[in-house]
Amino acid sequence: MGQWVRKSLLAGLLGFAVLAFAVWFLRPQPVLVDFGQVHIGTLKITVEEEARTRARDIYTVSAPVAGRVVRNPRIAGDPVTMNETTVAILRPTMPAFLDERSRSELHASLTAAEAAIRLTQHEVRRLEAERELAGNKLTRAHALADRGILPIEKLEEADRAAEVSKHALAAARAELEVQRNRHAAIQAQLADPRDFDQKSNEFQELRLTSPVSGEVLRVLQQSEAVVAAGTPLIEVADTSDLEIRADLLSTDAVQVEIGASARIIGWGGPPLGARVTRLDSAGFEKVSALGIEELRVPVILELTSPEQQWRRLKHNFRVTAEITLKRMENALLAPSAALFRSGDGWTVFVSEQGRARLRNVDIGLGNEAFTEVILGLDDGERVVLYPDERIADGTRVRERVQR
């Protein structure tokens, strides 16, 4: 009898152990989750946009007159000094080649010019003889007038004739000079362009100097060429005086205030301080990578960090501008990853004694990391991050161990 009781008791204990194990094994296990904490802090609403650096003042040096620009030895990045560094050299152009008809016409004009020179030379000699004769007559007239033999009227006629012959001779000599210059001009038109090219170094060069101290940005005319007046030759700028342009969506640009603080990131160095200095008064249309037409507004920023921190930045470098739209101090903040929509409102799961409790909240402004909580949560409470379909009101939860 005692043996049977012992066997019954052992069987009962074994059955109870199996039943307890089954209950423990089959009971719901806590869901492993990540928690975030509600806290009081500073909320910054920002907008990020790809931007580019640019020199504040870019100078384009152009050819002031038509001419032949010499091959430019400057390259992008070369330092230049205001009013000292030569950035371009202009020389006179070579004359154009003549076709056969034009050359024949010029040869005929040259022959006519030579004949005109000879004709004028003969005229000069004739007038020189007349001038000499008129001078002799004037001398005799003075001698006769001194002795009272020649009337005063005859003396005046002789004097006037000498004066006329003098001016006629001067006019003939001037005409001879005109014909000689005309002859030289025609000869110059007939000159071989290759002879001009050999003598071009004798002509005065026009050296253009940099209008600002800084660096060469682009050489627009590298090789030697004949250029018209106003042709751009080279671009220079002071690259230590940079500003940044970010093209924001018009819906973001309307929230930006002049003087708003910003950060420059994603440029290859530590974040830099900046501030907004200007918003353009007109937007422009831009097609995004997805083919969507967007209206964007240029926003200009200036760097506020010391130059030593960003001296490697130059003109037209790509950066990312993070502009602060609003800043709220002492705001009750909850992780944005804990919020999800429930009907027309927002809801979170709050951790209470190891269980997730559903709670409706009223929220204000927010960013990717945190959102302002107006009503529904208290400072220090823990909320479930990234809740999924496994979690409902009352679900047992446990914090996931971070490894």
Average pLDDT, the chain: 85
Cα end-to-end span (Å), the chain: 59
- CA dihedral 293→295→298→303, nearest 10 degrees, is -80
**Which range in 6-20, 87-101, 180-194, 338-352 is most confidently predicted, on average pLDDT?**
338-352
The pLDDT, as a whole number, for residue 217 is: 92
The pLDDT, as a whole number, for residue 234 is: 94
pLDDT tens digit sequence for 85-114: 999 999 887 777 777 887 888 788 888 888
Residues shown for the chain: 403
The pLDDT, as a whole number, for residue 139 is: 82
- Residue 59 contacts residue 211 (beta carbons within 8 Å): yes
Q: How many CB atoms lie within 10 A of CB 84?
A: 9
Q: CA 99 to CA 204: how far, in whole Å?
A: 29
Under the banding of pLDDT at 50, 70 and 90, the label for residue 397 is confident
What is the chain's percent helix, strand, coil content, to nearest 5? 35, 35, 30
pLDDT tens digit sequence for 131-185: 888 888 778 777 777 777 777 777 677 788 888 888 888 888 888 898 888 888 8
Q: CA 368 to CA 117: how far, in whole Å?
A: 94
Over range 389-393, report the average pLDDT. Answer: 85
Over range 209-237, report the average pLDDT. Answer: 92
